[in-house]
Structure 1
Amino acid sequence: MLDLDALPLSRKQLRSIGQATARVNIWHGSVRSGKTIASLLAFVIAVATAGPSGLIIICGRSLQTIERNVFEPLADAALFGPLARHVHHTRGATTATILGRTVHLIGAADTRAEGRLRGLTAQLAYVDEATLLPEGFWTQLLARLSVPGARLFATTNPDSPRHWLKVGYLDRAAELNLRAWHFRLSDNPSLSPEYVADLAAEYVGLWRRRMIDGAWVVAEGAIYDMWDEAAHVVDTLPDMRRYWCGVDYGTTNPFAAILLGEGTDGRLYACGEWRHDARAMHRSMTDAQYSAAVRKWLSEWRHPSAGPDAPAGVAPEWTFIDPSAASFSTQMWADGHPGLARATNDIADGIRSVSSLLAAGRLLVHRSCEGLLTELPGYSWDPKATERGEDAPLKVDDHSADALRYVVHSTMHEWRHLLTASATPEASHAPGELRP
């Protein structure tokens, strides 16, 4: 059923599949380097030869990521040939069938997921993006692999060199029953030069070194080290095709809203900003007052180049709100503000989105955005988080920067084509509309 010679595999992929006989087997390295396909093939071969004792488990950050990163590739006949017909999964289900064997799917977004493993006895486990899982979950999973000959198969992109997976396992491979294979983009010969160039354009700085070079490097210093006020700050704005808004909610901390526009010149612009600092102003505001103030600001905002007779007001297609600000979101919805959505709040990916645009000169900031211009140069990685092997920004003077991150990353599908000359604009997909 599985003829590896008939599949488009590199020599390194084939070698890793044949050598994946240790208790713990880890494929790590750059994105699109072929590590996932190799690891899945090794796992499926293990499923085909596994005995009847013990459960078979697939783990990931969520069921959605497991479906996207594991089952969508397995169902692709171009990648897995006839095997694809023997993989069955219903979207949203917590079990699947591979080669007639029941496989249990477990999402592990936080430490509470560890409880889902207690009492289990497993013989095989596959872990998607291991660095995104809590260390306690990984430790418990290894303890559950108690059947003789039990094996774990895992993939990951590089993270901090102080991450628990690197320090506790990869760096100790010689002491443990563990094998690991490091993959680079060059290990996937099926990628076209155009695709590699496009991919490289999407990753800059820290993420380029990790996701393209496949290096485990530390996050330190300024987050937006490509920021150059002379290059990124503008006094005039082009005509805009469309607008979006991002909101970072604060009560005692500053409240910030950023108006993002897509210019007719193919760039994104932070066009305007509204902020309220309760401490500086010695005056707090209620949700109703914030809602009224933001809506008033948008209704009165005027393009800087518009003449005095031009009508005021701008209507963002979507307003992306800090997902923790449930009461404010409810207030905005009750006040009839259209196009509300919860902001995508994946901090690292959001920072990468902003970084990519800044590095490519595709994101500029109007000089009127004073709070944002003050925060961006000092937006830095938290050294204490770095010591723990985590990537996190310092939670200081980051409110306008967070509002920008919300609106930029939440609209990524709308502007990704701006980063590459060879890519074509993607179809617009509206985010999920917010309901209280």
Structure 2
Amino acid sequence: MLNLDALPLSRKQLRSVGQATARINLWHGSVRSGKTIASLLAFVIAVATAGPSGLIIVCGRSLQTIERNVLEPLQDRALFGPLARHIVHTRGATTATILGRTVHLIGAADARAEGRLRGLTAQLAYVDEATLVPEGFWTQLLARLSVPGARLYATTNPDSPRHWLKTQYLDRVGELNLRAWHFRLSDNPSLSAEYVADLAAEYVGLWRRRMIDGAWCVAEGAIYDMWDQARHVVTDLPDMRRYHVGIDYGTTNPFAAVLLGEGVDGRLYVAAEWRHDSRATHRSMTDAQYSAAVREWLAEWSHPSAGPDDQGVTPEWTFIDPSAKSFLTQLWQDGYPGIARASNEVASGIRSVSSLLAAGRLLVHESCEGLLDELPGYSWDPKATARGEDAPLKVDDHSCDALRYVIHSTAHEWRHLLTAPPKEAAAA
């Protein structure tokens, strides 16, 4: 059914498949390094030879990530050939069939997911992106693997060196019934040089060390350590193709809105900013007042090269702090067009901003004083780092949050700019 010689596998991948006989088998390393296909192959072989007792489980951050990262690759004939037709799943269902065996799919987004494991007995488990599941869930899953010869298979990208998976498992590989394989980008024989170069351009700083180099490294110091005022601040703006807005809502904290434009030169520009700090002005504003102020700001702002009849700008989309439900409702009532809840994946959003800054594809107009004040001091929280987490200090970050919202929510629009050939530089 499965011809290993026909699969596009490296010797390292094949070796890991053959050696995955420990109670815990863990593939870790850079993105697209080949660890997932090797781990899936080892898991499917285990399913094919498993006895009748005990459940078979696949776990991940959510059912959607399990479908995308586990089931869809298994159903890809280019990867698994004839085996793919023996992987049966209806999208949204909490079970799948692999080689005729029922497999239970369990999402583990938070600590409450641990309760889904209580009382069951398992013989095989596969965990997608293990660093993203709660520690309590992982511990409970291991306790449920109580059938003689039970095994756990897991993949992950590196995280903080203080993450529980690193300190309590990988660092204790000699003490535990555990085998681990570290993969780098060069370990995947199927990647083209062009793709590797494009991927490397998308990751900088902390994420480059983790996702490209495959290192378990700590987040420390400035988040945007590539920020250079001489390089990233401009006094003039090119013509723009389109605009978007990002808004971080605040009542007692500052309210920040940034206007992002895509220049004809293939760069993104923070063209303007509007802020209100109730503590500094000693004046609070209602949702209705904020809505009116933002609409007035956009109606009055104009590109420096615009004529007297071209005043005002209409953004294609405005991305709002997703926790600001009352403000979103107010904007809808006021007929504000193109409203969307912003993507609030903090680490991924920071990575998106970092990649653009590092590539010189994101510039800030000198008028955006709030953002320019915040960017140099935007730093990792050392207390969170000590816990093995990556989180920014929640101090003077309101314009940074607004920027993160609009950048990450429009990533599909600008991702190509990271590898596009440079055009004529913007005036500075």
Q: TM-score, normalised by structure 2?
A: 0.97
- Residue 326 of structure 1, CA deviation: 1.1
The question of whether the paired residues in 1 share the 8 Å contact of 2:8 and 2:189 is answered with no
* Cα distance between partner residues in 2 of 1:291 and 1:95: 46
* Cα distance between partner residues in 2 of 1:339 and 1:107: 32
Asked whether 1:135 is paired with 2:135, we answer yes
Q: Which runs of 4+ in 1 moved over 6 A?
A: none
* Cα distance between partner residues in 1 of 2:325 and 2:146: 44
Query: Residue in 1 aligned with 2:326?
Result: 327
**SS state of the match for residue 414, structure 1?**
helix
Q: How does 1:309-388 map to 2 (within 5 A)?
A: 309-388=308-387
Instruction: Go from structure 1 to structure 2 and tell me whether the alpha carbon gap of 1:402 and 1:128 turns closer, same or farther (over 3 Å shift).
Output: same
Query: Residue in 1 aligned with 2:146?
Result: 146
Q: Which amino acid aligns with 1:321?
A: I
Q: Deviations over 1:215-238 (max 9, x none)?
A: 000000000000000000001100
Query: Residue in 2 aligned with 1:427?
Result: none
Query: Residue in 1 aligned with 2:188?
Result: 188
Q: Which amino acid aligns with 1:331?
A: Q
- Residue 118 of structure 1, CA deviation: 1.0
* Cα distance between partner residues in 2 of 1:261 and 1:411: 11
- Residue 310 of structure 1, CA deviation: 3.2
- Residue 299 of structure 1, CA deviation: 1.3
Asked whether 1:420 is paired with 2:419, we answer yes
The question of whether the paired residues in 2 share the 8 Å contact of 1:261 and 1:269 is answered with yes
Q: Which amino acid aligns with 1:405?
A: R
The question of whether the paired residues in 1 share the 8 Å contact of 2:120 and 2:144 is answered with yes
- Residue 196 of structure 1, CA deviation: 0.5
* Cα distance between partner residues in 2 of 1:198 and 1:310: 42
* Cα distance between partner residues in 1 of 2:288 and 2:95: 45
- Residue 379 of structure 1, CA deviation: 0.2
* Cα distance between partner residues in 1 of 2:358 and 2:130: 29
Q: Which amino acid aligns with 1:39?
A: S
* Cα distance between partner residues in 2 of 1:296 and 1:2: 64
The question of whether the paired residues in 2 share the 8 Å contact of 1:28 and 1:182 is answered with yes
Query: Residue in 1 aligned with 2:252?
Result: 252
Query: Residue in 2 aligned with 1:73?
Result: 73
Query: Residue in 1 aligned with 2:425?
Result: none
Q: Which amino acid aligns with 2:207?
A: W
Q: Deviations over 1:100-148 (max 9, x none)?
A: 1111111111111111111111111110000111111111111111111
Query: Residue in 2 aligned with 1:392?
Result: 391
The question of whether the paired residues in 1 share the 8 Å contact of 2:320 and 2:342 is answered with yes
Query: Residue in 1 aligned with 2:161?
Result: 161
Q: Which amino acid aligns with 1:245?
A: V
* Cα distance between partner residues in 2 of 1:103 and 1:175: 30
The question of whether the paired residues in 2 share the 8 Å contact of 1:301 and 1:314 is answered with yes
**SS state of the match for residue 261, structure 2?**
strand
- Residue 316 of structure 1, CA deviation: 0.8
- Residue 304 of structure 1, CA deviation: 2.1
Q: Which amino acid aligns with 1:325?
A: A
Query: Residue in 1 aligned with 2:54?
Result: 54
Q: Which amino acid aligns with 2:223?
A: I
* Cα distance between partner residues in 1 of 2:347 and 2:113: 22
Asked whether 1:410 is paired with 2:409, we answer yes
The question of whether the paired residues in 2 share the 8 Å contact of 1:198 and 1:422 is answered with no
- Residue 418 of structure 1, CA deviation: 0.2
* Cα distance between partner residues in 2 of 1:6 and 1:316: 51
The question of whether the paired residues in 2 share the 8 Å contact of 1:344 and 1:406 is answered with yes
Deviates more, 1:112-121 or 1:28-37: 112-121
Q: Deviations over 1:294-336 (max 9, x none)?
A: 11111111112223x1321111111111111111111111111
Query: Residue in 1 aligned with 2:213?
Result: 213
- Residue 422 of structure 1, CA deviation: 7.5
Aligned residues: 422
* Cα distance between partner residues in 2 of 1:158 and 1:273: 36
* Cα distance between partner residues in 2 of 1:305 and 1:107: 52
Unpaired runs of 5+ residues, structure 2, are 423-428
Asked whether 1:284 is paired with 2:284, we answer yes
Query: Residue in 2 aligned with 1:120?
Result: 120
Query: Residue in 1 aligned with 2:299?
Result: 299
Q: Deviations over 1:230-268 (max 9, x none)?
A: 000001100100011111111110010111110000000
* Cα distance between partner residues in 2 of 1:81 and 1:44: 13
* Cα distance between partner residues in 1 of 2:421 and 2:370: 35
- Residue 185 of structure 1, CA deviation: 0.6
* Cα distance between partner residues in 1 of 2:105 and 2:333: 39
Q: Which amino acid aligns with 2:246?
A: G
Q: Which amino acid aligns with 1:404?
A: L
* Cα distance between partner residues in 2 of 1:192 and 1:42: 25
The question of whether the paired residues in 1 share the 8 Å contact of 2:60 and 2:106 is answered with yes
* Cα distance between partner residues in 2 of 1:73 and 1:177: 28
Unpaired runs of 5+ residues, structure 1, are 424-436
Q: Which amino acid aligns with 1:9?
A: L
- Residue 283 of structure 1, CA deviation: 1.1
The question of whether the paired residues in 2 share the 8 Å contact of 1:236 and 1:305 is answered with no
**SS state of the match for residue 258, structure 1?**
strand
Q: Deviations over 1:353-412 (max 9, x none)?
A: 000000000000011111000000000000000000000000000000000000000000
* Cα distance between partner residues in 2 of 1:366 and 1:296: 20
* Cα distance between partner residues in 2 of 1:315 and 1:64: 34
* Cα distance between partner residues in 2 of 1:390 and 1:104: 29
* Cα distance between partner residues in 1 of 2:255 and 2:405: 13
Query: Residue in 2 aligned with 1:242?
Result: 242
The question of whether the paired residues in 2 share the 8 Å contact of 1:194 and 1:422 is answered with no
* Cα distance between partner residues in 2 of 1:195 and 1:59: 29
Query: Residue in 2 aligned with 1:434?
Result: none
* Cα distance between partner residues in 2 of 1:327 and 1:7: 53
**SS state of the match for residue 124, structure 1?**
strand
